[in-house]
Structure formats: structure tokens, C-alpha cells
Amino acid sequence: MFKLTYYRRIQLSFLVLIFIPLIVVSTVSYLLIRSSMVEKLQLSNENFLNVMTEEMNKTVDDVTFASHFIVNDANVRANLKSFADTERINNYNDYLLFTQIQDLFNLINTKPLNNNIRMYLVNRQHFVSSSGTEDLTGMKASVTQLMKRVDLNEPEKLQWLGMADNGLGKRSYYIARVIYDSREKQYVSVLLVSIAESYFNKLLSSVEFGKVALFDSSGELISGNPELSLAKTEPNGNVRSSRNISKSSWTLVYEASEREWSGQISRTFYTGLIVVILLFLVFSMTSVWVAKRLHSPVHKLQRVVRQFGLGNLDVRLEVKGKDEIAELGYTLNIMLDQLQQLIHDIEQEQEQKRVMELEALFMQIRPHFLINTLNSIKCSLILQQDKLHSGIIDSLISLLRAYLKVNEPTTLEEECKLLAHYVDIMKIRSEIPLKLEIDLEPMTKELIVPKLILQPLVENAIVHGFVDHPSPTIRVSSRYTEGGIMIEIEDNGSGIEEETLGRLNRRLMFNDDEEGTYQRVGLINVVQRLRLTFGEEATMTISNLQQKGTLVALYLPLGMHHVFLSGGNE
């Protein structure tokens, strides 16, 4: 079923508005063509003559430019003076001067000259240098004849020599300019510029009707129809026009008979009819394109997308109707909602990565010199039989080595050994009788966990749980549960207030750290590392014990991608 959509209505209106004016214009043109066509065709041919005149003026300007450049450049004149009496290239100096002359032609050719123009420099010995690559052997006789036409007593002036055979089986029009040395009172070279006859023939042959010819100042035909002459003839119904080519002695003459005009009128009428048909087709296709571009919902879509791109993520398109544009707007709104959510997720992920990178950079300090120094102190203490302090330093070295390899995974058993070293250090540092108990099920000892994952939890218990406690104890245990492993860190400290405990558990569940306190940064970092390793189902909860103290429970889900070291299970 045909549906007159908004797009089709616009297209139909364009076709109607284009078709009616074309019919009117065609009718009026047909009625007026008989009375106005001669004048229009004459004006058209006048314009065509102007185009040919401008082309020839450009060619003459090119010739003038080249001659002025050679004559007015002091270095060029010096080179030509040195080369003036060279009959042939006999030595390196002659070759060098010849090369410099060729470089001059290359420099002139950087200006886009007419391809039909050739330049020749002829010295006093009739040695010829060419701007092209043609063989000059056959031109010697032609050059000799041309030099007879050159008036050597008129330097610094373009001399129009006329048509001549170039010695290669083709005719060209030649222009000469004498390069004169005012000190020695004699010429040093003659610049010959040739314009191929084919250039004129091609330019004048583009006239569709009538006759056209180009003459020099003496009335000699350069190119064109030989039936024309420079002298004016009786009109006899003919239309005649002439143009003088500036800076030259050329005259362009055009003449057409009345019969040629009337024949052109008929051809123009039919041509105009065909043009009208073509214009209708072009306008019809243009209307299809314009109709797709101009209806306002497209502009609304463009504004919404632009505002969204500029940062207004809440902008949406107001969808009206049930046509194609409305469906597009509805789909665009869904896409913008998805992009907004994606941008929000990416921002959160980038912020989390930034915090993790700062933590990683902090942990990547590599104090190798401290380890070496502590090893030296440890050896000194062993020699002095101080086992207590040498053992503390040994524990410190173990921790430092662990910090150096913080990004490498370890086993749960090795992690607990590091905890023992850490507790030994804290016992000396805090001067408390701290006791650490480790109770790991054998099948959990080889579980791969992130290095130093338990140390922040033990540190938190020591710093906040044991204030003036007579016998502080921390117990670390692990056991299998349904679908994973449970690791518990238990202390007999003072515990946590219930309100603070609830708020802390909520923040650990959502990885939130609004207050940014040191202990909470450490706890949230532990949760993030566990979830990056074991997945989003990994959890950490904190609770108070009935007999006083705090229990931190880590649940690690085990999937096919979580493995144990040798001797363990998947």
C-alpha cells in the first residue's frame, strides 16, 4: 500500500514547483528565439573571440616574461657574454657555461609556459641552445635564415619575424630579441622564441561556424582560413569582427555569413529543447536530494547529537508521530541512554584504576640498598650471638622482599609466614606481647592469593584493637566451605562500635570510601584486590565476637580459573 509520508510530500512538491516553471520558460523561449537568436549568437561568438584573444595575450605575455627575464638578469647576461663566441663545446669551461644556460631555461620553465613555445639562444657564432630536448642538427639552416631577418641594431625590443620552417618538417612563428652588451657596443646573443603552427591551428579550429584567421602587421596570414584577408570587405549581410592582440603585431579576424547564422538558429533551438529536458531531469534528481536534507526532524536529530557531543548527556529527542524519523529518534534516545551509562561506567572504572595505580606505585619502591644494609647488620648481630635482634632483622628483610614482589601471587601458607615476620616486627616496635596463631586446613595451604593480602587486616587489628591489652592474640584460620574457601582473622581486642561496624560493612560491600581514612583505604584495597582475583562474588565482612574481639571473614569463591600449586585441587 502506497504511503504518502512526510518525505514523499516534500519530494512531490519540489517536482511540481520545478516542472511548471520549466514548461513556462520553454514556451516563452520558443516564442522569442526567432527575434533574439541572431543577437545572442553574435554575442556568443564575440565572447568566443575574447577567449581566443585572451589565450593569445597569455602566450605573448609568456614570451615577454621569458625575454625580460633573460635580458634583465645580470648573471644571465654575464654567462651569455662569456659564451658569445663559442662555436662548439671544446672544454669543461664551455660545458659549464652551456649547463648554466640550460639551468636558465629550466628556471624559466618553472613558470607554466605554453607547451607549444620553444626558446633558443643563438650566439655570435650561431651556436644554438634550446629550452627543449629536440635534435638541433636540422635547424642550423633555418636559424641562419631567421638571423637574416633579425635587425641587430634594435636591441631590447621584440621583433616579430613571421612564419618559417623550423628545419624539422614543421612550421612555427618566430619572435626575436637581441641581447646587447652596452660596454662592448655589440650584441652577445639573440633570443629566438618559436610558437608552433599547430598551436594556432588548434586554437582557431574550435570555431563552430564562420571563418576566422590570424594576420601579422603586414597582412600576412599566420593561421586560419585563407579566404579571409586583413582588409575590410563589403558587408553583404556578413558579420565581421576583429581583435588586436596586445603587445604584438597580430590581428584576429572573424567573419560569418547570414546563411550560417540562420542554420545555427535552427540547431540552437533543438539544442535548447534538449537542454530543457536535461534540466528537468537534473532538477528532479536535485529535488530528491533536497527533500532528504531539508525536513526539520533531521535538524532536530543533528542538534541533539551535537549537544550530546558537547557534554550535555541528559539531552534527548522529543519523539512525535510514527513515521521513519520518529522511529529513528526513538532508537537514538535508546543509544544515548546506553552511551551515558557506558560513559558513567568508564569514569568509575578509570577512577578505580587511578587509585589502584597510585597504590601500586607506592608499593613498587625497591629499597635494595636497605636489604643489603640489613643483611650486613644481621651478620654482625649473629657474630655477636644476638639472636633476638638478628631474627627481627631477618623478619624485616622477608617483608621488604615481599614488597619488592608485591605484584606476584603467592600461596596462603607463604602469606601466613609473612604475617609471622610482620608480627615479630610489631612486637618489638609496639612493645606488646603479641601472639599469632595459624590454623590452615591442609588442602587450603597451596591456594594462590595476592601477596600481602592479609597484612593490612592484621595491622588494623594491632593498631586499633589492642590498646593496653595484657595478652593480645591474633588467630588466622582457613577452611573449605560450599563453593569456596573461608579465611578468618580473629583478635581478642576491644571490638568495634555497632554503628561504625554497620557503616564499615556497607562501604566494603560497595567499594565506597567517602571519608578516606587510612584504615578504610587499606580495607577497601583488600576487597578490590580480592575481587580482581576471585571475581565479584568475593566478600569481606567484619563482626564483633561475643567474648570481645573482632572477626574479619574473607570468602573466596573458587571457579575453574582459580588453581592451587602442586598438591592442591581446582
Residue-wise pLDDT for 287-297, tens only, equals 667 666 656 67
DSSP tag of 447? B
Beta-bridge partners for 73: none
Cα dihedral 6, 7, 9, 11 in deg (nearest 10): 170
Cell of residue 357, nine digits: 595505580
Spatial separation of the C-alpha atoms in residues 359 and 287, rounded to whole Å: 63
Spatial separation of the C-alpha atoms in residues 305 and 475, rounded to whole Å: 59
Spatial separation of the C-alpha atoms in residues 363 and 368, rounded to whole Å: 14
Residue 485 has pLDDT above 50, yes or no: yes
Residue 101's closest CA among 126, 83, 127, 124? Answer: 83
Q: Pick the more confident residue, 341 or 322.
A: 341
Whether 389 contacts 397, CB under 8 Å: no
Express each pLDDT in 397-421 by its tens digit.
777 776 666 667 889 998 898 888 8
> If you average pLDDT over residues 310-334, what whole number do you get?
78
Beta-bridge partners for 121: 129, 191
Which residues, 6+ apart, have CB-to-CB distance to 549 below 8 Å?
465, 490, 491, 492, 493, 495
> If you average pLDDT over residues 498-514, what whole number do you get?
77
Question: By three-state DSSP, how is residue 445 classified?
Answer: coil
Average per-residue pLDDT for the chain: 76
Residue 564 has pLDDT above 70, yes or no: no
Which residue reads 608480627 in cell numbers?
423
Spatial separation of the C-alpha atoms in residues 395 and 422, rounded to whole Å: 7
Residue 566's pLDDT is what? Answer: 45
Express each pLDDT in 324-365 by its tens digit.
777 877 788 888 888 888 888 888 888 877 776 666 555 544
> If you average pLDDT over residues 244-258, what whole number do you get?
79
Beta-bridge partners for 484: 481, 557
SS (HEC) of 236-277: CCCEEEEEECCCCCCEEEEEECHHHHHHHHHHHHHHHHHHHH
pLDDT band of 367, cuts 50, 70, 90: low
Cell of residue 172, nine digits: 612555427
Spatial separation of the C-alpha atoms in residues 77 and 264, rounded to whole Å: 55
Spatial separation of the C-alpha atoms in residues 471 and 477, rounded to whole Å: 19
Residue 445 has pLDDT above 80, yes or no: yes
Spatial separation of the C-alpha atoms in residues 16 and 14, rounded to whole Å: 5
3-state helix, strand, coil in the chain (%, to 5): 55, 20, 30
Residue 486 has pLDDT above 90, yes or no: yes
Residue 488 has pLDDT above 90, yes or no: yes
Angle at which helices 518-534 and 455-465 pack, to 10 degrees?
A: 150
Which residues, 6+ apart, have CB-to-CB distance to 541 below 8 Å?
505, 508, 552, 553, 555
Residue 104's pLDDT is what? Answer: 73
Edge to edge, the sheet with strand 239-244 lists 221-224, 211-215, 251-256, 239-244
> If you average pLDDT over residues 539-550, what whole number do you get?
87
> If you average pLDDT over residues 85-111, what whole number do you get?
76
Residue 138's pLDDT is what? Answer: 66
Residue 479's pLDDT is what? Answer: 92
Spatial separation of the C-alpha atoms in residues 418 and 344, rounded to whole Å: 39
Whether 417 contacts 382, CB under 8 Å: no
Spatial separation of the C-alpha atoms in residues 130 and 140, rounded to whole Å: 12
Which DSSP string corresponds to 27-87?
HHHHHHHHHHHHHHHHHHHHHHHHHHHHHHHHHHHHHHHHHHHHHH-HHHHHHHHHTTT--
Which residues, 6+ apart, have CB-to-CB distance to 5 below 8 Å?
323, 324
Residue 285 has pLDDT above 50, yes or no: yes
Residue 137's pLDDT is what? Answer: 67
Residue 519's closest CA among 465, 470, 478? Answer: 465
Residue 561's pLDDT is what? Answer: 45
Choice among 270-279, 324-333, 489-498 with the minimum mean pLDDT: 270-279
Whether 506 contacts 514, CB under 8 Å: no
Q: Pick the more confident residue, 221 or 323.
A: 221
> If you average pLDDT over residues 64-91, what whole number do you get?
78
Which residue reads 570587405 in cell numbers?
233
Whether 538 contacts 530, CB under 8 Å: yes
Which residue reads 560497595 in cell numbers?
510
Question: By three-state DSSP, how is residue 487 classified?
Answer: strand
Spatial separation of the C-alpha atoms in residues 392 and 498, rounded to whole Å: 37
Spatial separation of the C-alpha atoms in residues 429 and 478, rounded to whole Å: 28
Type and span of the H or E element at 294: helix 258-294
Residue 519 has pLDDT above 50, yes or no: no
> If you average pLDDT over residues 365-379, what whole number do you get?
58
Q: Pick the more confident residue, 523 or 114.
A: 523
Residue 362's pLDDT is what? Answer: 52
Residue 373's pLDDT is what? Answer: 59
Express each pLDDT in 206-250 by its tens digit.
766 678 888 887 778 888 877 788 776 655 556 777 888 887 878
Q: 156: phi > 0 → left, psi -120 to 50 → alpha, else beta; which?
A: left
> If you average pLDDT over residues 539-566, what whole number do you get?
78
> If you average pLDDT over residues 102-117, what whole number do you get?
69
